[in-house]
Structures are given as structure tokens and as C-alpha cells.
Chains A and B, each alone.
Chain A
């Protein structure tokens, strides 16, 4: 499963995008957030972290799979 990264999430992970191995694949958005918090504790220091699935903001109970386009959305700061 691949996860698109933007803004500070690229700095925290040191990667342009994340690849989650098959055996660790999260089943929901909430699972993904929990896994991220374990792997990258600095993520938990952010003001907020949203996840977008197929370019829409997603709730924690939404099921995800590797066919979805998944992106981490750290606190936005446009304008």
C-alpha cells in the first residue's frame, strides 16, 4: 500500500511517499493513523492529521485497500 505525503509529513518520515508492507496493511483509516503514530512518533505532535481517500477527507472507520489513493493531510496552511 502506498501513502502520498505532503508538507511536514515528508520531513517527519524522510520520504517522498510511504510504502506499507503487505503484512502490516491497515484495514481502516483509523488503523493507518495508529500505525503511523507507532512508526513515526513525531506525527502525534502535529496539530491535526487527516487522511484523504481518493482525494476526499475520510473518517476513521472508512475501510481502505491498496486500490485507493491514500494521502496524509497534515494541518493545511494555504492562503
Chain B
């Protein structure tokens, strides 16, 4: 598994890691910074992580995905630091023999990452900033 928290994401890394002659399908999800949120212009996002725990939780998700679907490999990469609109902030990559498993596992992995991995983002607007999800 490729599990990484990093300042700048290289989009070529996960597919290069996942590719092999036995693989018939590689799914890649790339989450990027959107320039608007709830009607407001987003200038940038700041990400921070509790890194040792975040890496552990990401690895647990990778192991669970490999138990649930017949996968060859899993890559989970998350960025930290300040990110501008359009920049990639998360990459989920999955390889399998056939496409159903990789589509499903990729979707599951990003959904679970958002629920359990201790990473936080703060959205900066023109007039203020907020920690996303902090309040009901």
C-alpha cells in the first residue's frame, strides 16, 4: 500500500505505483480545492493532520478495502498545508483485475476517509474563515 501525507501531491505517483501487468483496472479519485462554498468565494484552504494517527487510520482503511474487495493495490495520499483553488488535496487509487471492484473500493475509501481520518480543513473566504464541519 502507498499511504502518504505530503505537502504537494504529484498526480503521477499513484498510477505509477498501481500499474502492473496483471492489473485490468485502475481507479483514481482526485479531490481538489473548489473556489466556492455555500455561496461564498473560497480564496484558499488550509489542511492540518494529526499525522501519526492519520497515517494509521489511512492504513486501516486500505487494509479493510483489501478485505472487502479483490484488489491488487491501494494508494491513499493526502496533502497538508495551504492549497489554492484547483490544487489536488487527496488522491485515492485502487487497482484490481476487473473494474467493479476498483470503482466500488475507490468510492468507499474516500467516503470513509472523510469520516475517520484526523485531518482538518479551514476555508478562507474574503471576509472570514471557518473550520469545515466543526459546528452542526
A interface residues (Cβ-Cβ under 8 A, vs B):
4, 6-8, 11, 45-47, 52, 55-57, 71, 73-79
A79 touches B89 (CB 8 A): yes
Name the B residues within 8 Å of A45 (CB-CB): 135
**Judging by beta carbons under 8 Å apart, are A79 and B31 in contact?**
yes
Contacts A7-B131, A8-B134, A46-B135 known; A77 to B120 CB distance under 8 Å? yes
Residues of B within 8 A of A (CB): 31, 47-50, 52-54, 56, 78, 89-90, 110, 113-122, 131-136
Known A-B contacts: A11-B131, A75-B131, A78-B90. Give 16 more (CB < 8 A): A6-B118, A7-B120, A7-B122, A8-B120, A45-B135, A46-B135, A47-B136, A56-B56, A71-B53, A74-B131, A75-B133, A75-B134, A77-B114, A77-B131, A77-B134, A79-B113
Shortest distance between the CB of B64 and any CB in chain A (Å):
15
B53/A78 in contact, CB under 8 A:
no
A74–B50 Cα gap in the complex (Å)?
A: 11
Once A52-B118, A74-B131, A76-B120 are accepted as A-B contacts, the answer to whether A6 and B110 lie under 8 Å apart by CB is no
CB contacts (< 8 Å) of A71 on chain B: these are 50, 53, 118
Tell me what chain B mostly uses at the interface: helix, strand, loop, or mixed: mixed
What's the nearest-Cβ distance from chain B to residue A71, in Å?
Answer: 6
Instruction: Check A56 against B136 for contact (C-beta < 8 Å).
Output: no
Q: How far is the CB of A70 from chain B (nearest CB, A)?
A: 11
Chain A residues with CB below 8 A from B118, complex form: 6, 52, 71, 73, 76, 78
**Closest CB in chain A relative to B40 CB, distance in Å:** 16
* Cβ A47 vs Cβ B113 within 8 A: no
B48 A7 Cβ-Cβ under 8 A: yes
The answer to whether B133 touches A77, judged by C-beta atoms less than 8 angstroms apart, is: yes
Task: Report Cα–Cα, A78/B113, bound state, in Å.
Answer: 7
Contacts of A73 in B (CB 8 A): 50, 118
